[in-house]
């Protein structure tokens, strides 16, 4: 069974697609969860972040202060590049370890890597299939405001900070349109699952 990369912009419906694939039996490896795992208190990654950005990005309990770090790197391309240079190699190593673990436990498993920054970090990896969750920017802004309680301006800034939808779609083997009903999104995922099961 293939190794699938699942990507999409913020609030594009990636989690819905990943959850549906998991219901069918796919093993989902979540890049965001790995980022959190490699940055736990005492980790080499967190020590490197502290060295690069100072003690004020570490909370009193020794964990990363994500908000403080976000403020430091948002809009500062050099600082973001420094952070990515620390975090991305560790995430790559851990994600590959989890892929191997999943496939050693079940060689027939379908492994899905839920990765927001695929285009920016791992587009050239040897994926069997790249699936892109796709919804118009205006709908994604509305989702962030209504479902996440985000300020509209902040939502627009976050979308603007990511690569364009066109760049993401250009990578896709499969585009899942998440702009309609939840049921219609799930139907598209079910059709993809059937196709993969037949291969």
pLDDT digits (tens, 9 = 90+) for 74-118: 778 899 899 999 999 999 999 999 999 999 999 888 999 999 989
pLDDT tens readout for residues 21-32: 999 999 999 999
Six-digit token string for 143: 């989702």
- Is 152 in contact with 26 (CB distance < 8 Å)? no
Query: Is 70 contained in some domain?
Result: no
Name the domain count of the chain.
Answer: 1
The answer, as to whether pTM is greater than 0.75, is yes
In this structure, the strands spanning 3-8 and 111-114 are parallel
Q: Which CATH number characterizes residue 115's domain?
A: 3.40.50.300
Domain limits for position 134 = 3-26+110-198
Q: What's the N-to-C CA distance of the chain in angstroms?
A: 8
């Amino acid at each position: 069974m293939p190794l699938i990369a699942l990507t999409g912009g913020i609030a594009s419906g990636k989690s819905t697609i990943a959850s549906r694939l998991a219901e069918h039996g796919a093993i989902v490896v979540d890049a965001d969860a790995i980022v959190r795992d490699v940055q736990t208190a005492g980790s080499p990654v967190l020590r490197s972040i502290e060295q690069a950005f100072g003690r004020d990005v570490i909370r009193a309990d020794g964990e990363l202060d994500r908000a403080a770090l976000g403020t430091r790197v948002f809009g500062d391309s050099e600082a973001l590049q420094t952070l990515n240079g620390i975090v991305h190699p560790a995430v790559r190593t851990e994600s590959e370890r989890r892929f191997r673990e999943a496939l050693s436990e079940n060689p027939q498993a379908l492994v899905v890597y839920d990765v927001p920054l695929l285009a920016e970090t791992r587009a050239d990896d040897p994926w069997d299939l790249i699936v892109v969750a796709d919804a118009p920017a205006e709908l994604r802004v509305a989702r962030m405001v209504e479902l996440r309680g985000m300020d509209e301006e902040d939502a627009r800034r976050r979308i603007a900070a990511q690569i364009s939808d066109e760049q993401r779609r250009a990578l896709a083997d499969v585009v899942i349109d998440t702009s309609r009903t939840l049921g219609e999104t799930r139907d598209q995922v079910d059709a993809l699952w059937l196709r993969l099961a037949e291969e």
